[in-house]
Amino acid sequence: MAKNKSTKPINTADREIVIARVFDAPRELVWEAWTNPRHVAQWWGPRGFTTTIEEMDVRPGGVWKHVMHGPDGTDYPNRSVFTEVLKPERIVFSHGGEKRGDAGVQFESTWTFEALGEQTRVTIRMVFATAAERDRVAQEYGAIEGGHQTLARLAEHLPKIAEKKRNALTVTLPAEREIVLTRWFDAPRRLVFEAWTKPEHLARWWGPRCYTLSVCEVDLRPGGAWRFGLRGADGEEHPFKGVYHEITPPARLVMTECYDNPGTGRPEWHTTLDLEEHDGKTKLTITCVFPSAEARDAHLDAGMERGASESYDRLEEFLADIPLRS
């Protein structure tokens, strides 16, 4: 029987381009920025370029089609096929790109993501068919400088993702009758408190995007009642009501809440809204306590998380666009 011949690794150094950078972000965040097409479109390509992603299926065998638009108006269609996706460590794809009247560009690209505590080292290795092809692409397309600029744009985009994730709504169930909602806002808590307590502000953001606040009555005092009415696109009304029990501007509201539609049979629940300010930003914590676990679960099943998320996104937009005055 013939012995297996040992094979030496192929040395591709003379036909490679290697670019690396350390990012001040955890590996999971960098991976998300690379694999989510909504993020990729924000940073991919050298400065001055924009990218339109037509298809991006990040899995072995998946196709990635995108068009890079140069600052001079030239379009660069690209089509790649992923050959290896090892989350969150490595992505390998075969790349093909071109522009009108050009021979095009083909290479194999490997991106590695190395965790360095709360930082991440990203290394790009592009392997071409020949050294001459590598040199042509480096010279004609500015591949090396373009790669550095692309990573620089990624570095600039990562804090935006981190901030958005920090501001995202989180929902926890710490006890069988409780729901706790947490969300950060880029505004002082005085303004957030005003947005929660002034009818003219509530009418601009309270409720999911497909609804308008047709009724907004606020008697802001302990023992005072509030009543809101959400009107859907179909004209259907969804009434809510409650009573304020504690008002501590600009830090806390304690009240009851109830979906005021007799046909649903939903019981009243108790809500505490706490606002904490840190460096000009406000952390909102809402704790809802229901009379039973079944009532809590019914509230969740009715779409409470989605509705709250959309409503708080509208509040964030309102706080950013509308100056509030005490």
The pLDDT confidence band at residue 1, using thresholds 50, 70 and 90, is very low
In a shared domain, residues 160 and 202 = no
pLDDT of residue 111: 98
Do both 128 and 187 map to the same domain?
Answer: no
Yes or no: say if 113 and 120 are a contact pair by the CB < 8 Å rule: yes
Mean pLDDT confidence for 232-237: 90
Identify the band that residue 266 occupies on the pLDDT scale cut at 50, 70 and 90: confident
65 and 85 fall within a common domain:
yes
pLDDT in tens, 125-146: 999 999 999 999 999 899 999 9
For residues 228-234, give the mean pLDDT. Answer: 92
Q: Which of 283, 68, 310 lies closest to 188, judged by CA?
A: 283
Q: Is residue 212 part of a domain?
A: yes
Do 114 and 95 have their domain in common? yes
Statement to judge: residues 161 and 18 lie in one domain: yes
Q: Are both 59 and 108 inside the same structural domain?
A: yes
- Higher per-residue confidence, 58 vs 260: 58
pLDDT exceeds cutoff 50 at 22: yes
Q: Are residues 98 and 207 in the same domain?
A: no
Flag whether pLDDT at 4 surpasses 60. Answer: no
Which structural domain range is residue 136 located in?
Answer: 13-166
Which pLDDT does position 12 carry in this prediction?
82
260: pLDDT confidence band, cut at 50, 70 and 90? confident
* 2 domain-assigned: no
To the nearest whole number, what is the mean pLDDT of the chain?
Answer: 91
Name, in order, each residue with C-beta under 8 angstroms of 196's C-beta and a sequence gap of 6 or more: 202, 253, 273
Domain at 47, CATH number: 3.30.530.20
DSSP string over 265-315: -PPPEEEEEEEEEETTEEEEEEEEE-SSHHHHHHHHHTTHHHHHHHHHHHH
Confidence check: pLDDT of 241 > 70: yes
Residue 208 shares a structural domain with residue 94: no
From 114, 147, 166, give the residue that closes a domain. 166
Q: What percent of the chain has pLDDT over 70?
A: 93
Based on the domain organization, do 296 and 201 belong to the same domain?
Answer: yes
- pLDDT tens, position by position, 173-189: 999 999 999 999 989 99
Answer whether residue 1 is part of any domain. Answer: no
Residues 199, 70, single domain; the answer is no
Domain count, the chain: 2
Question: Which of 108-122, 155-169, 267-281 shows the lowest per-residue confidence on average (mean pLDDT)?
Answer: 155-169
CA–CA distance, 36 with 55 (Å, rounded to integer): 11
pLDDT in tens, 273-325: 999 999 999 999 999 999 999 999 999 998 999 999 999 999 999 998 765 44
Q: What is the arithmetic mean of pLDDT over 87-115?
A: 88
- Asked if 289 and 315 sit in the same domain, the reply is yes
**For residue 209, is pLDDT > 80?**
yes
Does 46 reside within a domain?
A: yes
Domain presence at residue 92: yes
Tokens linked to 214: 């047709």
Q: Is residue 310 part of a domain?
A: yes
The domain boundary, picked from 104, 131, 166, lies at: 166
Residue 4 lies in a domain: no
In-domain check, residue 281 = yes
> Are residue 84 and residue 187 in the same domain, yes or no?
no
- Mean pLDDT score, 5-13: 66
Final residue in a domain of this structure, among 166, 196, 223: 166
pLDDT at 104: 77
2 pLDDT band, cuts 50/70/90, is very low
Torsion sign across C-alpha atoms 28, 29, 30, 32? positive
| pLDDT at position 62 | 97
Show Cβ contacts of residue 197 under 8 Å, excluding neighbours closer than 6 positions. Answer: 218, 220, 249, 253
For the chain, the first-to-last Cα distance in angstroms comes to 90
